[in-house]
Structure 1
C-alpha cells in the first residue's frame, strides 16, 4: 500500500475528531505514542463504567466473544508508577461494532457489553480490566480494515494528557491496518500489548504499560520580555 493512500485513510478517520501529534522515534522512557481519538468515543450516558466490561449492572447476561484481561501500569518519564491517574477506555464489541449512534457498521450491538470504562490507577500505578477481544471492522468508504484495538485516554494533573490505542500481538489484522502501517517499528512495539497468559490463567491476559509526560514548570523569566 502506498504511503499516500494510507494518508488519505487517516484523513477519513480523523473527520469529526480532535487531531493529535504522533511521537516519532519513541524510546523506552519517552511517552507512549499518541493516536487519534476516533469518531466513536461514547456519547450515550451509562452508569456502569467499572473494570468489568463483560457484564452490565442490573443485567444477567454476559458479553459475547472471547473474554480477556488487560492490565498494566502508568508511569512517568522516569519510570515512576503514578497513582490516581484517570484511565478512560472504550472499544468495539466482539462483532466490531461500537455502541455509538454514528457507527455505520451493520454488525449487531451487544446489549450485555459495557464498551466503556473510567478507572483510577492504584497506589502502585496499576489498572486492570476484564473485557472481550474487540472485533475487526471496515473503514467506511474504503476497502481497508481496523485491527482489534482498545482506545485509551490517560490524564492526571501535572501531566500531559495522552490519547492512544492498544493493539494485540501477532493478530493477522495488524498487517492490514493503515494506522499500524503508518507507524515505525518502535512505535508499534510501544502500542502493542504483551501476551502474558499462562496455563494457570482463566482468560488470556495482556499487559499494556503506558508512559505519560510530566509538564515542565515554566522557569521564572521564561515568559518575560527581554
Structure 2
C-alpha cells in the first residue's frame, strides 16, 4: 500500500506507512515530532521544542527514556525487571528495581541517600549530610537504627526481642527489652531514674533528684 500523507493547515503532518511495518510520523508546527513504529516492536519517539525527548520501546522489553531540558532523565525498563532511573539537574538520582527485588536508591545533592530493599528483606538506609542515619530492616527482624549528629541514638529491634535504646545528648537514656524479660531503664539528666523488671520478678525503682524513692519488689 502506498504511504498515506496528511497535511493540515496548521503545518501538522502525518505520514503513515503500512503492510510490513506500521509507521506513523507526526510533525507539528511547534517542532513536536512523534514517530511510531509498530507490529514488530512498538517504538514511540517524541521530540519537543523544549528539548523534551520520550523514547518508548515495547513488546520485547518496555523501555521509556525521557530527557528534559533541565537535565531531568527518566529511564524505565520493564517486563524482565522494572527499572526506573531518574537523574535531576540538582544531582538527585532515583533508581528503582522491581519484580526480583524491590530496590530504591535515591541520591540527593545534599548527600541525602535512601536505599530501600524489599520482598526478601525490607531494608531502608537513609544517610543525611548532617550525619543523620536511619537503617530499617524488616520481615525477619524489625530493626531501626537512627544516629543523629547531636548524639541522639534510637535502636529498635522487634519480633525476636523488643529492644528500644534511646541515647540523647542530654544524657536521657531509655532501654526497653520485651518478650523474654520486660525491662525499662530510663535515665534523665536530672537524675530521675526508672527501672522496671517484669515476668520473673516485678521490680520498679524510681529515684528522683528530690530524694523521692519508690521501690516495688513482687513475686518473691
Which has the larger share of strand? 2
Shorter-chain TM range is under 0.3
Larger Rg: 2
Normalised TM-score (structure 1): 0.19
Which has the larger share of helix? 1
Normalised TM-score (structure 2): 0.19
